[in-house]
A and B are shown apart, each in its own frame.
Chain A
Amino acid sequence: MKILVCISKTPDTTAKIAFTDNNTKFSEQGVQWIINPYDEWYALVRAIELKEKDPSVLVHLITVGGADAEPVIRKALALGGDEAIRVNGGGHDSFYIATQIAEVAKQGAYDLVFAGKETIDYNGASIGGMVAELLDFPFVPLAIKFELNGSGAVITREIEGGEEVCEVALPVVVSCQKGMAEQRIPNMKGIMGARTKPLKVVEAVPVDALTAVVSFELPPAKAGVKMIAADNPEELVRLLHDEAKVI
């Protein structure tokens, strides 16, 4: 059993969002980089749990990015996993990134590909589905539970207003979210061990991006809050009805 876990590097959740170069580039100044929380807390930890249950399971991590992505992938290796692959490429086009991941997945004959449900920076939520299509694998999005079951898997996924349980034969691509696993803190042994785990670098395959970001914008500032006295909460209801017209 071979599992490939997609890892993306994203700005920390508290990072200041600002743009440079005439609003065409994200300003990386002072930004702390983290593993995309969905990739880390859910996809990676669940893969590690599967390995803990059955040590013959191989867990490989993949990231598409420049050398600056290596500290983040080492952090991921500190949580667990046998080795990592960095595809030396860049950009933010989901199709470009998915093509690179699919290529590695094909070469490595993986049974399972885990991705986070989305990244917290570009919020594309597209990598899992695209990789699945490129591999011609089934895709189960927004998984909240995952169990192996012989040569298949039983997966619970989110649907509107509830959940759905489904069964699927491997190989499959799964996008992971809350519920799949619980966040872990790497321990000293993991951090030390991660330094010597293999991190292979492969060159990107040529592929044209399908999209391009032309500019960024920040949302307009709020007009300011209107405070209502605590002893007159009825006034709030009046304002919501007469002024904001939302009730």
Chain B
Amino acid sequence: MSVLIFIDQADGQIKKAAHEVICYGARIAEMLGTTAEGIVLGTVTDDLAALGKYGVKKIHHVKSEQLNQFDAQVFANVLAQAVAAASAEVVVFSNNVDGKAIAPRLSARLKAGLVAGAIALPDLTTGFIVKKNVFSGKAFANVSLNTTIKIISLNGNSYPVTETSGSSEVVSLNVTVAGAKVKVTSVNKVTGEVPLSEAELVVSGGRGLKGPENWGILEDLAKALGAATACSRPVADAHWRPHHEHVGQTGFAIAPNLYVALGISGAIQHLAGVNRSKVIVVINKDAEAPFFKAADYGIVGDVFEIVPKITAAVKKLKGI
């Protein structure tokens, strides 16, 4: 028996989200008195043994180059074989783009119950119950998994990443890899920016910024903080900012440590995407803006005056 953790990589590098799921999966293994094993698909340049410091004891590596391109069908098939090889009873994914593609397939394939969007460790006192986000962050559901194999995909920034010493055994796993039906023809990544999904700090702008030409003040603050940038829906709809920055109920749901909202009113649909942020700062010239009710820190005032001063103070703090 084991807990099998899907360790996600992109371009040969282990994704940051994988560290969190390794810690999470390792803790579940401990709770169940079993071992935490990992599975890595495709060619990697990172040192896999070093991932042992997050608690994984054994990593199965399928080195096939065919797996350097993502195809959910092929990946789910390989994972099903890995589940058998590791006699896994619990399989853990990040609830990210790849996890959302593979976990449901694996669930249907193995008839294994899936909790997608888990935010806490399972409760084992009466069965196997996992808490997940529902109603777009407005509530939680406790979901019971009654199948022999259980699959959990963990929302980002839900479980603390802790490092200890230790290295993992790495074994290569030989499985059949089917030919991909989905052929990737081009990849277009924004380089040099923190991707929103992995960002710990996010600075976000709304209609209060008046127009795309004014985003400089927001970007300066984001740069000083090392933060990613986001926006409200009308801002993305008006093409002031790219769609991938749109957060909220119908955009991305994020849970950074810090979310700074500049000129955003805080409509319920916007809050749904950001209310899992640990700390929320709201700057809005309207003291009645609903966002203040969901905020930890607030300033009533004009973003054009206040934001450059904050940026200067951040730079001073960081000595940059």
Contact = CB atoms under 8 A, between A and B. Distances in A.
Interface of A: 11, 13-14, 17, 19, 37-38, 41, 94-95, 98, 117, 120-130, 132-134, 136-142, 144, 154, 157-169, 172, 178-179, 210-219, 222-223, 225-230, 233-234, 236-241, 244, 246-247
A164 B299 contact: no
Given A121-B135, A215-B142, A13 B278 contact: no
B167 to A, nearest CB: 27
A166 B182 contact: yes
A27 to B, nearest CB: 11
B71 A126 contact: no
B300 interface: yes
B48 interface: no
B258 A247 contact: yes
Contacts of B64: none
A247 B314 contact: yes
Interface of B: 10, 15, 70-73, 76, 95-97, 100-109, 111-117, 129, 131-147, 181-190, 193, 195-198, 201, 225, 236, 243-244, 246, 249-251, 253, 257-258, 268-269, 272, 275, 278-279, 281-282, 292-302, 305-306, 309-310, 313-314, 317
Contact of B105 (A13, A14, A132, A212): A132
Residue in A157, A211, A238 with the greatest tally of chain B CB atoms within 10 Å = A211
Contact of B114 (A17, A37, A138, A211): A211
B134 to A, nearest CB: 6
Given A129-B105, A130-B105, A132-B105, A142 B309 contact: no
A178 B251 contact: yes
Contacts of A13: 249-250, 268-269, 272
Contacts of B115: 211
Contact of A133 (B108, B272, B302): B108
23 contacts: A13-B272, A14-B268, A94-B116, A95-B113, A126-B100, A129-B104, A130-B107, A138-B73, A141-B97, A144-B243, A168-B181, A210-B112, A211-B114, A211-B143, A215-B141, A225-B296, A226-B296, A233-B306, A237-B310, A244-B297, A246-B201, A246-B278, A247-B225
A130 B181 contact: no
B293 to A, nearest CB: 7
Majority secondary structure of chain B interface residues (helix, strand, loop or mixed): mixed
Given A17-B139, A124-B117, A246-B258, A139 B105 contact: yes
A179 B144 contact: no
Contacts of A127: 104
Given A159-B97, A223-B296, 17 more contacts: A13-B249, A95-B107, A98-B104, A123-B117, A128-B104, A133-B106, A138-B71, A140-B72, A164-B184, A211-B113, A213-B142, A217-B131, A225-B293, A227-B292, A228-B299, A236-B297, A247-B225
A163 B186 CA distance: 8
A236 B281 contact: yes
A141 B243 contact: no
Contact of A210 (B145, B188, B292): B145
A178 B297 contact: no
Contact of B183 (A14, A19, A166): A166
Contact of B101 (A98, A129, A236, A240): A129
A168 B185 CA distance: 10
B243 to A, nearest CB: 5
Nearest to B117: A123
